[in-house]
Amino acid sequence: MALRWQMIARGEPLHLNKFDPGQPGDGEVVVEVAGCGVCHTDLGYYYDGVRTNHALPLTLGHEVSGRVVAAGAGAHHWMHRAVIVPAVIPCGQCDACKRGKGTICRHQKMPGNDIEGGFASHITVPAFGLCPVDLGRLEAVGLTLGDVSVVADALTTPYQAAIQAGIGPGDLVIVNGVGGVGGYAVQIAAAMGATVVAIDVVPEKLEAFREHGAALMLNAHDFEGRALKRKIGDFARARGLRPNEWIIMECSGTSAGQMSAFSLLNHGATLCIVGFTMDKLEVRLSNLMAFHARILGNWGCPPELYPGALDLVLDGRVKIAPFVERHPLEEINEIFQAVHDGRFARRAILVPAPAMSAPTGDG
């Protein structure tokens, strides 16, 4: 038998129950979970009433890493391998997938939304898109398999945004909101050769990136009106950077942050919407026309990009260890509340206790 923590209703304590993962179907695997990161999307489902596609009860959690312990037909080659499960798993067969647009696949499956998620000892998922993890390289950079669960979303989401925006040497990249996803956006942009400006309202979050990719840290509370844009413009001139074509990565997921990010548009700019909020805002879209600028949405990350994102970690160019902390899965209700209350500066990764039993063999 295996264990999972399920959401029964909005805000009610997550409920522990036993289940039998059984044998996976064709093209599926059972993964013994090494770690599952707590994302603010999980909190949106649990506290804010964001609807899941799968009816409740449902196991949340979409940042998953672990080992394959059972495989169905066509997936036998994954047996016993360490893997990261994509946060959004496209079908790989539809027209969109075949044209390299897996992020808009209408048959995609997201653990903890479309199917049972990773706050469990085991999870059954499609084998398509699994990202193999080299445990030797992982050990060399001082990480556990559970630690790289955050690659599944917190790191690959801004990575896909950076690839989509075409970040490279000589670019000025502004990351608005550097907690969680935004922190990895800072590191990824710097690893790609950009000069990075980090913006937040929490001094401690900004300070954390002085040694991890930020060339300039700005507290948004210190600026009014156009002063923030002027400050960044002065910095660009002093560094000999382009005065236009800024790349702005909006990671705060707040209406105020999105308004601020939109106000930073200049000629040829790219605004990447990475953070999510249910709030609406009023902006003048004609600015896009006047500046010949663009706004890019960003949903998940195609599985084919995962190895490149993971390489940034295994090569030591993006650091995970300073920004995560492990907790026992059985503390999930307390951890959810603490994350919701803003008491964590790092990403919480929930680690299951040794499994009661694990499926073995092929389907």
* Per-residue pLDDT tens over the stretch 170-206: 999 999 999 889 999 999 999 999 999 999 999 999 9
Same domain, 164 and 284: yes
* Per-residue pLDDT tens over the stretch 41-61: 999 999 998 999 999 999 999
Mean predicted confidence (pLDDT) in 91-109: 96
pTM of the model: 0.94
As a whole number of angstroms, the distance between CA 261 and CA 114 comes to 31
What pLDDT sits at residue 141? 96
Into how many domains does the chain fold? 2
Percent of the chain residues past pLDDT 70, beyond the cut: 98
Q: Quick check: 305 pLDDT over 60?
A: yes
Contact 96, 106 (CB under 8 A): yes
Give, to the nearest 10 degrees, the angle between helix 227-239 and helix 255-263. 50
Print the domain residue range for 24: 2-153+301-351
Query: b vs e for 14-23, b when ≥16 Cβ sit within 10 Å of the residue's Cβ?
Result: beeeeeebee
Give the CATH number for residue 34.
3.90.180.10
Mean predicted confidence (pLDDT) in 237-251: 97
What pLDDT sits at residue 362? 57
Same domain, 13 and 149: yes
What pLDDT sits at residue 358? 55
What pLDDT sits at residue 361? 56
Q: Quick check: 363 pLDDT over 60?
A: no
* Per-residue pLDDT tens over the stretch 27-43: 999 999 999 999 989 99
Q: How confident is the model at residue 113 (pLDDT cuts 50, 70, 90)?
A: very high
What pLDDT sits at residue 26? 97
What pLDDT sits at residue 345? 84
Q: How many Cβ atoms sit within 10 Å of the Cβ of residue 328?
A: 12
* Per-residue pLDDT tens over the stretch 121-162: 999 999 999 999 999 999 999 999 999 999 999 999 999 999
Same domain, 285 and 338: no
Q: Quick check: 309 pLDDT over 70?
A: yes
As a whole number of angstroms, the distance between CA 38 and CA 47 comes to 13
DSSP string of 220-275, one letter each residue:
GGG--TTHHHHHHHHHHHHHT--SS--EEEE-S-SHHHHHHHHHT--TT-EEEE-S
Residues 6+ apart with CB under 8 A from 57: 6, 7, 8, 15
Q: Last residue of a domain, which of 268, 297, 326?
A: 297
Same domain, 283 and 340: no
Same domain, 24 and 63: yes
As a whole number of angstroms, the distance between CA 176 and CA 204 comes to 15
Q: How confident is the model at residue 225 (pLDDT cuts 50, 70, 90)?
A: confident
Give the CATH number for residue 190.
3.40.50.720
CA trace torsion 293, 298, 304, 307 (10° rounding): 100
The answer as to whether 201 is a domain residue is: yes
